[in-house]
Amino acid sequence: MTTGTGLELILNAAEGALQMVVTEDETLLCAQEWRRPERATEILAPALRHICAALDLRLADFRRLACVRGPGSFTGIRLVLATAAALRRTGQVRLAGLDYLQALAATLAVDRGVLYGAPIWVLTHARRNLVHCQPYRSYGPLIPPQPLRPVDLCTPEAAAQRIAQSRTEPLPPGTDPAPRVWVCGSGLIRNAPLADALQTATDAPGLPVSALPDLTCPSVTALRLLARHGDYFAKDVEPLYVRPCDAVENLPGLAPRLGLDPATAVTSLAEKLDRAPQSEI
Judge if 38 and 120 occupy the same domain. no
What is the rounded average pLDDT of the residues 141-157?
94
Which domain does 123 fall in, by range? 101-212
pTM listed for this prediction: 0.88
- Cβ neighbours around 258 below 10 Å, total: 8
- Domain count for the chain, please give it: 2
Q: Evaluate whether residue 243 is within a structural domain.
A: no
Judge if 65 and 146 occupy the same domain. no
What is the rounded average pLDDT of the residues 28-51?
91
- Residue 182 Cα to chain centre, angstroms: 18
- Read off the CATH number of the domain in which 115 is found: 3.30.420.40
- Identity of residue 41: T
Q: In 3-state terms, what secondary structure has residue 132?
A: strand
What integer pLDDT is reported at residue 179 of this predicted model?
87
- Give the contacts of 205 (CB within 8 A, at least 6 positions apart): 168
Encode pLDDT of 200-252 as tens digits: 766 677 888 999 999 999 999 999 999 999 999 999 999 999 876 665 666 67
Q: Evaluate whether residue 264 is within a structural domain.
A: no
Please name which of 8, 33, 81 lies closest in space to residue 219, comparing C-alpha atoms. 33
Encode pLDDT of 70-108 as tens digits: 999 999 999 999 999 999 999 889 999 999 999 999 999
Q: Evaluate whether residue 192 is within a structural domain.
A: yes
Q: Evaluate whether residue 117 is within a structural domain.
A: yes
The rounded percent of the chain whose pLDDT value lies above 90 is 64
Cα 52 to Cα 8: distance, rounded to the nearest angstrom: 12
What integer pLDDT is reported at residue 248 of this predicted model?
62
Judge if 141 and 223 occupy the same domain. no
Judge if 94 and 223 occupy the same domain. yes
